[in-house]
Amino acid sequence: MYKILLVEDDKKLCELTKEYLTMYGYEVFDIKNFKRIEEEFDEIKPDLVLLDINLPYYDGYNLCRIFRRKSKAPIIFISARSSEIEQIRGLEIGADDYITKPFSFELLLAKVQASIRRIYGEYSEDSLQVFTVNGITIDKNTFKMIHGDKSVDVTKNELKLISKLLKNVDKVVTREELLEELWDESSFVDDNTLTVNVTRVKNKLSEIGVEGAVKNKRGIGYYITFKK
């Protein structure tokens, strides 16, 4: 699980950003004491930093220089300063990307994922053996799905399907994409194989207390959602 340090003094934005990125399997830390930003950075050792510019006690540009000396972790500025000059300055002093406020969380997620792939490897997210999304933990080492104090064993195909759906929360994954996940040179895979395995995934989720999360988009595919 990748650790993200969120250096942002807008408490509401901080809360919403943490909630959104956590849903996609990231471990998000916010700053507890703005006088100790450097110390908290050293303690957390983040894999990526989301950094505002206008901060109490610190200037975001100076922090970017400090973080860059300490770590190769990608740094993405999130700032209301939207001029081209400000964006160029941010990139020149070591930031990997720059997002202007207001922004969509979909754009933020895409930038985070792209930065992580660029620094840690093209398939870094897929290589995670244990990841958590919205309280559901997938352990590829033990072929287990865990939620709270409940766990259930899953097959190779079930694990492939639930992993694909959890990495695309609220987005429809087409039947063709899911069939690609199941494709195996040693076994025959068809549309019926997919339907059977999706039903099994739904049943396994029910066993660990997650009801009705996997939905069918008729004629297109499936998606997982945690919205009530």
pLDDT computed for residue 90 by the predictor: 94
Output the CATH code of domain 130-224.
Answer: 1.10.10.10
Output the CATH code of domain 3-120.
Answer: 3.40.50.2300
Domain ranges of the chain: 3-120, 130-224
Residues 6 or more apart in contact with residue 33 via CB below 8 angstroms:
40
- With a cut of 80, say whether residue 228 has pLDDT above it: no
Rank 40-49, 101-110, 124-133 by mean pLDDT and report only the highest. Answer: 40-49
Average pLDDT, the chain: 90
- In this structure, the number of other CB atoms found within 10 A of the CB of residue 159 comes to 20
Query: Once rounded to an integer, what is the mean pLDDT over residues 24-39?
Result: 93
pLDDT computed for residue 17 by the predictor: 96
Q: What confidence tier does 6 reach under pLDDT thresholds 50, 70, 90?
A: very high
- In this structure, the number of other CB atoms found within 10 A of the CB of residue 52 comes to 22
Q: What confidence tier does 182 reach under pLDDT thresholds 50, 70, 90?
A: confident
The answer to whether the CB of 60 falls within 8 A of the CB of 32 is no
Model confidence, pTM: 0.61
pLDDT computed for residue 47 by the predictor: 95
Query: Matching CATH topology for 3-120 and 130-224?
Result: no
Per-residue H/E/C for the chain? CCEEEEECCCHHHHHHHHHHHHHCCCEEEECCCHHHHHHHHHHHCCCEEEECCECCCCEHHHHHHHHHHHCCCCEEEEECCCCHHHHHHHHHCCCCEEEECCCCHHHHHHHHHHHHHHHHCCCCCCCCCEEEECCEEEECCCCEEEECCEEEECCHHHHHHHHHHHCCCCCCEEHHHHHHHHCECCECCCHHHHHHHHHHHHHHHHHCCCCCCEEEECCCEEEECCCC
